[in-house]
Amino acid sequence: MVMTPIRKAQDLILWLQNIRLDDIPLVGGKNASLGEMLQQLTPKGIRVPDGFATTATAYRQFIQKNGLDATLRALFADLDVTDVKKLQHRGAQARSLILNAPFPPELEVAIRDAYRDLCNRYGADADVAVRSSATAEDLPDASFAGQQETYLNVHGESHVVEACKKCFASLFTDRAISYRTLKGFDHFDVALSVCVQKMVRSDLATSGVMFSIDTETGFKNAVLITAAYGLGENVVQGTVNPDEYRVFKPTLKDGFRPILSKRVGSKALRMIYDTGGTKLVKNIPVPLHEQQQFALDDDDILTLARWTCQIEDHYSALRGSDSPMDIEWAKDGQTGELFIVQARPETVQSQRQANVLRTYRLDKPADAEPLVQGRAVGDMVGSGTACVILDVSDISQFRPGEVLVTVKTDPDWEPIMKQAAAIVTDQGGRTCHAAIIARELGIPAIVGCGNATRVLQTGQDVTVSCAEGEDGNVYAGQLPFAIEETALDELPTTRTKIMMNVGNPEIAFGLSALPNAGVGLARMEFIIANHIQVHPLALVNFDTLKDGVVKRRIALLTETYEDKPQYFVDKLAQGISTIAAAFYPKPVVVRLSDFKSNEYANLLGGEEFEPLEENPMIGWRGASRYYDDRYRAGFALECQALKRVRDDMGLTNVILMVPFCRTPDEGRKVLAEMANHGLVRGENGLQVYVMCELPSNVVLADQFSEVFDGFSIGSNDLTQLTLGLDRDSALVAHLFDERNEGVKRMVAQAIATAKAHGRKIGICGQGPSDYPEFARFLVEQGIDSMSLNPDSVIKTILDIAELEKTIEPG
């Protein structure tokens, strides 16, 4: 065991286990955080590799004894960091001065002695990481991420001393100079500490980055984890497109396994030790079959997520306020153990103004097709002239206001990144350098496009849209867009609950910031059509599919699944759980699948299992499918997914809703079928609603009340079936109007009967937001809730609040 000396004011070296978070002025944010975790969190099971740090005292003595202070100050006295060539020249001069100056003998001896102590513990010639830690680094409002250098797989006393010197010099990298200027830090108020830390052999396993907050929306209840093979620099620098996993924090803390989503990345390269070459590390290709697999299993994902929560809770308690964290992790391929190798405050979403909702709306032609697509970073839109730069040595070609298009960025690109209207890269995931800096600068970025530098051309006008979900799109031309701001703290409250219709899981976290009472209608159809794409029975009967082309397409989509039906269950559970988590613990009403037979037939493999119907709108849909032998096996997969969401993930705020249920007896058959798969009404708080969209639902509402816990009026179907018209027919479209007196009487009767029998009743549709008089009618009838499309929520809240002032509570 290394003996840790008592700290003295003149100490040049401190062991991490002797350092606490309030030592930032002495050892920088990175090292202070490592010491804090070693002392306080290793007793809780979180592993942190040990090591030692040179102090700010050591750096300042080095500068003073070599007489460098005056020379360095002169170099930067008149520097304009927007002049890229001058910045590069002055930075090189500063680094050269430091690299050519000798370490004071007492500092070199201290480093050598400490490294020898590490070798005594871990073995001769121990492999270490030598990392920079500036005293202005990892602050809650400025990350300084990647501004200074890191050296991996360093062996031997002399090489460790040399790497420490290089770290000192990296205080004056071009990007560090530029970043300090941007953030208003004096170059000479900042000192450099160096951490020498035992390496985790993630070159033989996996590593990555994780955040205790959703990086795009600021949603605080999710952990985002990224992972790739080998050492973590590839993920941080955006050299690879990593896997992404999201975990829901509240029910994770209650002992559930709430992995909301898993997205496989290409992970085309693996950074390993260069044991036989002249470099410290090198990248090698990852075989295709490994690229297609997840880099982490579920147990590791959940362990990392728990650690993230513990780290966030610890730092929040220290700071006395919420402290979302940005954390680097690594898995040792020799021992199988996970480690935390860095933790810093998240500096973007945590600083956003929470009471103002800013929404970007892109005005694009209906036929606009994206030129390239990738992962969206920031829910914004930007436009400008593309500037394609393949090498950082050419950044002087960039002009302010252009869209930077490149393979990937690292901190050397930062002098021009802050001048860009948007950034587009071929490589990288949501935790890569380009993504982190774009968020911090408040500009949109699309990462991991794969082909942006080949498709986009310098001088081409483009629009970069990150306001359309998780996928970012680059469109030709500079398209118009609007920015809407809403002060959320000024909105009134209403007696009538205003809920939302949400079908797309990719935008659920962002929508949850809107004022709402939950989700009144979560449609499965979007998840099935867009995320699954395959007919459930084509997965159940995969081996006997007749169409060879379709079978190959399904095989490609499900290549990581030997059990093909499990693909449907996993994807559906992930989609539903993401929506449920976004609004937890508010109710989220999930409607069971309500495709018509022609819509089911359009799914991959669907034609083999669907009948031809003359009028599928009023045919084999909704409840009638679930207990029918021709679809029962497909419905079983829906039930398995929903049971996982509620029972395994702990998202018991999910309420199920049965669509197009023609009779109370049919409702009982559906409930019996659900119970066969473990979804028993009343157990574990399970409520089951029914869509009130058929005249029989209204006329027999008293009997339906005995079967179901609540109703949701589907005004579209109720209108068409009350008036006897096909809402898909243009010939009778002029007659479709939910304000028709016959429809209103049906609605009024449904509300009155439901309330008389103690059942909740709401409406899901656009009628209340499109027609103020219809909204007033619903409020007068005493409806419990209205569920609307998100873009109507704020307007409707304002309208309903005014209405309720004139109507006495029922």
Return d(Cα 382, Cα 480) in angstroms, integer.
10
Is 531 annotated in the active site?
no
Strand order in the sheet with 338-345: 259-263, 243-248, 222-229, 206-211, 325-331, 338-345
Q: For residue 292, give both structure tokens.
A: 């297609």
Cβ(421)–Cβ(445) under 8 Å? no
Return d(Cα 50, Cα 198) in angstroms, integer.
6
Region label for 470, one of left (φ > 0), alpha (ψ between -120 and 50) or beta (otherwise): alpha
β-pairing verdict for 760-764 and 785-788: parallel
Cβ(384)–Cβ(398) under 8 Å? no
Return d(Cα 458, Cα 405) in angstroms, integer.
9
Return d(Cα 293, Cα 470) in angstroms, integer.
21
Opening angle at CA 421, ends 418 and 427, nearest 5: 80
β-pairing verdict for 422-425 and 445-447: parallel
Catalytic residue, candidates 164, 195, 309, 764: 764
Question: Which residues have C-beta within 8 Å of that of residue 353, sequence separation ≥ 6?
Answer: none
CA atoms within 13 A on the CB side of 199: 29
Return d(Cα 30, Cα 48) in angstroms, integer.
13
**124: number of Cβ within 10 Å:** 9
Give me the sign of the Cα torsion angle 533, 537, 540, 542: negative
DSSP secondary structure of 436-474: HHHHHHT--EEE--SSHHHHS-TT-EEEEE--SSSEEEE
Catalytic residue, candidates 387, 433, 466, 661: 433
Return d(Cα 244, Cα 387) in angstroms, integer.
29
Cβ(751)–Cβ(775) under 8 Å? no
For residue 654, the cross-strand partners are 588
End-to-end alpha carbon distance in the chain: 74
Total residues found in the chain within this entry: 810
DSSP 530: I
Q: For residue 753, give both structure tokens.
A: 């009967």
Is 187 annotated in the active site?
no
Give the residue carrying structure tokens 């022609």. 598
**99: number of Cβ within 10 Å:** 12
Longest dimension (CA), the chain: 94
Give the residue carrying structure tokens 């103002």. 356
Return d(Cα 206, Cα 211) in angstroms, integer.
17
Cβ(239)–Cβ(233) under 8 Å? yes
Q: For residue 284, give both structure tokens.
A: 């090698």
DSSP 6: P
DSSP secondary structure of 249-275: HHHHTTT---EEEEE-----EEEEE-T
Helix (H, G, I), strand (E, B) or coil at 775: helix
**181: number of Cβ within 10 Å:** 18
Question: Which residues have C-beta within 8 Å of that of residue 334, sequence separation ≥ 6?
Answer: 201, 204
Q: At what angle do helices 772-781 and 741-756 cross, to 10 degrees?
A: 30
Q: For residue 189, give both structure tokens.
A: 């108020």
DSSP secondary structure of 42-87: GGGT-----EEEE-HHHHHHHHHHTT-HHHHHHHHTT--TT-HHHH
Q: Which residues are catalytic?
A: 433, 764
